[in-house]
Amino acid sequence: MLNTLKYTVLSLLRERDIVIWVMLFPLILSTLFNSMFVGLEETGWNIDPMPVAVVSNAEGDAGLAFETMMDALSQEGDDALFAPKHVSSAQEAKTLLESQQTIATIFVDAQGWPSAEFSPGADDVGVSIERIKRTIVADVVDDFCRSRAAIEDIARTNPEALARPEVTDSLMKMADYTQQMNVTHSKAVDYVRYFYALLGFAAFMASMVGLSAVGKALPNISALGARRTVGGTSRARTLVGAVLASWLISFASLLVAFAYIRWVLGIEFGGREVECIIGLAVAALMATSFGALVGALPRIPFSAKGGILTGITCLLALFAGLYGTPSLQLADKVANSIPWLAAMNPVKQVTDLFYSLYVYTDLAPYLEGLAILLVTTGVFAGVAALLMRRQRYASL
């Protein structure tokens, strides 16, 4: 069996497609993710001053309060929220809005009350920074109206209160009444999830290794398999050796990917690297047994099996959140509404294994995930073994 193991490892390492899929793929994609998301998190939200058109119909000094606020919010510097353009007519403002030179028009009426006009566009899908910007404009205008309503109410009820500095200070200066606390093991950031989903995808893709090794050991799939079957080594020893070798290669490839993501790209795994490596070992075992299962499926040409594996992996990865923001939202939605479906998705399970290490303070959810993966492995291996037993080849 040791010989089988040794030569299966050697032959797998010489297969270019395996190397591309299992080793190169996570390295390429994680480098891309890193350049796309990580810099963004570090620089934080950096919204340029938002272009808005202001049409003022205020009479006398009625619009002064709003104007003062707008001036304060658009002072040149890093904190400027708005870049207002004062225009004289509604038509002019509409033209600016339509040509997307502004994101909103703010009208100030004769009494100095502001109102806003927006025009949602075609690029408003999923998380849209345009919609966030519009929300900010609406919030600022709302805030002004609410504060003014309160001031007017106080002026009517108890006018002398407005002479007291603590009241005017409270009305003019917004204090911070919120305090952020962290309930998770590590700082909650979205971008790490793409790397975890990528590891889930890469782990499942490692089933290609199992598929290839089993293909070389089964007599009805390759000439090599046929020769090995009539050889002196028992069937069980051949297969166990092949599966063990696939597991070793898959695990080693995943370790390379993990090491690259963790130490070269510097992505956090909640400081629980040992648990991650155990998780990778189990994930590689699960993938290998799935590869063996697909390899053992009867009546499907071997060349098509690679396609089937890719198709299944892509679909499972969609529900694990690999394909960008909408895919992540879809994965969350499914996991929230149909948890058993998420539990049956091995790519999601591997992804969640890493994320649970990152999020939860205790290890119970991680161990739960590990147990689910081991059960999945058992099911795959059991079905594969059943399929490989007593198959008849080229019989009369």
Partner 1 sequence: MQVFKTAIKSFFRHPIYLLVYVVWLSCMGLFMGMSVNELPADEYYERPSVAVINRDEGELAQALESFLLEDVDVVELADSERALQDAVMQQRAHYIAIIPEGFTDSFLSTVRAGDESALPSIQTVETSSAAAIVMMDNLANEYLNVARSYALAIPDAGVSEIVERTGKAMGHEADVRVVNIDNGSSFSGGMMLYLKFASYTLLLSIAVCSALILAQFGRDEVRKRNLSSPLSVLSTNLQLGAACLVMMLICWAFVAALGFAVYGGRMEGMSPGAVTGLLGALLCYALFGLAFGFLVGQMTHNELIMNAAANITGLVLSFLGGAWVPLDLVGEPIVTLAKFTPTYYYIEALNSSFEATGAALPAGALANMGVVLLFAMALFAIGLAIGRLRLARMGAWNGSSTRALSRPAA
Q: Interface residues for partner 1 in 352-371 (CB under 8 A)?
A: 355-356, 359-361
Q: Are 388 and 236 in contact (CB under 8 A)?
A: no
Is the CB of 125 or the CB of 396 nearer to partner 1?
A: 125
Binding to partner 1 (CB under 8 A) within 5-34 occurs at 16-18, 20-21, 24-25, 28-29, 32-33
User: CB of 301: closest distance to partner 1 in angstroms?
Assistant: 8
Binding to partner 1 (CB under 8 A) within 103-132 occurs at 113-132
Using the structure block, give the residue that is written with the tokens 């166990």: 240
Binding partner 1 (rule: CB under 8 A), the pick from 5, 80, 224, 330 is 330
Is the CB of 161 or the CB of 264 nearer to partner 1?
A: 161
Binding partner 1 (rule: CB under 8 A), the pick from 43, 89, 232, 266 is 43
d(CA 129, CA 378): 45
Binding to partner 1 (CB under 8 A) within 189-218 occurs at 189-190, 208
Nearest to 270 by CA among 204, 371, 196: 196
User: CB of 145: closest distance to partner 1 in angstroms?
Assistant: 5
Q: Are 251 and 345 in contact (CB under 8 A)?
A: no
List the structure tokens of 271.
């400081």
Is the CB of 165 or the CB of 232 nearer to partner 1?
A: 165
Pairing of strands 82-87, 50-56: parallel
User: Could you say whether residue 332 binds partner 1 (CB under 8 A)?
Assistant: yes
Q: Which residues contact 3 (CB under 8 A, 6 or more apart)?
A: 233, 241
**Collapsing DSSP states into helix, strand and coil, what is residue 338?**
coil
Binding to partner 1 (CB under 8 A) within 46-75 occurs at none
Is the CB of 220 or the CB of 229 nearer to partner 1?
A: 220
319-325 own/partner pairs: CB under 8 Å, 24+ apart: 319/345, 319/347, 319/348, 320/197, 320/200, 320/201, 320/345, 320/347, 320/348, 320/350, 320/351, 321/193, 321/194, 321/197, 321/348, 321/351, 322/194, 322/197, 322/198, 322/200, 322/201, 322/347, 325/126, 325/127
Binding to partner 1 (CB under 8 A) within 127-186 occurs at 127-132, 134-136, 138-139, 141-150, 153-154, 157-158, 161-162, 164, 166-167, 170-171, 174-184
Q: What separation in angstroms does the CA of 214 have from each of 53, 235, 373? A: 67, 11, 21
Binding to partner 1 (CB under 8 A) within 75-94 occurs at 94
User: CB of 231: closest distance to partner 1 in angstroms?
Assistant: 26
Binding to partner 1 (CB under 8 A) within 279-318 occurs at 300, 303-304, 306-308, 310-311, 314-315, 318
Binding to partner 1 (CB under 8 A) within 221-280 occurs at none
User: CB of 189: closest distance to partner 1 in angstroms?
Assistant: 5
CB atoms within 10 A of CB 225: 19
Binding partner 1 (rule: CB under 8 A), the pick from 2, 44, 232, 340 is 44
Number of residues that bind partner 1 (CB under 8 A): 113
390: left (phi over 0), alpha (psi -120 to 50) or beta: left
- Stretch binding partner 1 (CB under 8 A), from 68-76, 256-264, 268-276, 324-332: 324-332
Binding partner 1 (rule: CB under 8 A), the pick from 6, 86, 187, 227 is 187
